[in-house]
Amino acid sequence: MPQALEQLRVEVEACRGCTLWQGRANLVFGVGNPQARVLVVGEAPGAEEDAQGEPFVGRSGKLLTEMFAHAGLAREDVYIANILKCRPPGNRNPLPEEIQACTPWLREQTRIINPEFIVTVGNFATQFILKTDLGVTKLRGRVHEAGRFKVYPVFHPAYALRNRNTVLPQLEEDFRTLGQLLNAKGA
Ligand code: SF4
């Protein structure tokens, strides 16, 4: 239902639910297939995302797009969004009041897209979606439940870029496993 997402985007564009809209260059609403089986959720826009108005661009985004291929997916096959739609200054962590104000938008996006899998990228998104204090290291690469959704945590690509010999192979492995899960589900 692309229209429903487009309508939602117009509403989020006008959102003044917290102060972050004041410092943004662009809203980073989300991008991708509105009927995706996989919804990818990150933390918040960084500088490049803010400049381009699209989540996961720049070096991290390029690596994430490469990782999708390990799952048999193109970037266009999935939907990519963040918990926060506007960039926190200096890439600081989102504040509790910002999360509270912004997450109804993500909830509505999730309701419209109705994915089978929510891939949480990095610690912050994983802990928020799964309501846990456990880190992504302990949770990655296997399916958890959140309501009716299957939640699949993976390392943040920025972390994999900093740890190419150790974390990157694990990230690749986790996306290969995701591909198997999608094939099993689609069979
Ligand atoms: S971060 Fe979210 S709640 Fe805050 S102004 Fe932007 S869209 Fe609204």
Pocket-testing residue among 12, 43, 85, 128, ligand 1, by greatest number of atoms within 8 A of Cβ: 85
> pLDDT tens-digit profile of 116-162?
999 999 999 999 999 999 999 999 999 999 999 999 999 999 999 99
Residue 17 CB partners (closer than 8 Å, separation 6+)? 101, 102
DSSP code per residue over 30-70: -EE-TT-SEEEEES---HHHHHHTSSS-HHHHHHHHHHHHH
Q: Which domains does the chain have, with CATH numbers?
A: 2-186 (3.40.470.10)
For residue 2, pLDDT over 80 is answered with: no
Banded model confidence at residue 185, pLDDT cuts 50, 70, 90 = low
Q: Is the CB of 85 under 6 A from ligand 1?
A: yes
Q: Which of left, alpha, beta for 141 (phi over 0: left; psi -120 to 50: alpha)?
A: left
Task: Say if ligand 1 is within 6 A of residue 102 CB.
Answer: yes
- The whole-angstrom distance between residue 164's C-alpha and the CA centroid of its chain comes to 21
pLDDT at 3: 85
What is the pLDDT at residue 187? 46
Residue nearest to atom 2 of ligand 1 (CA): 102
Ligand 1 center to residue 156 CA distance, Å? 22
Rounded mean pLDDT of the chain? 96
- The CB of 151 under 6 Å from ligand 1? The reply is no
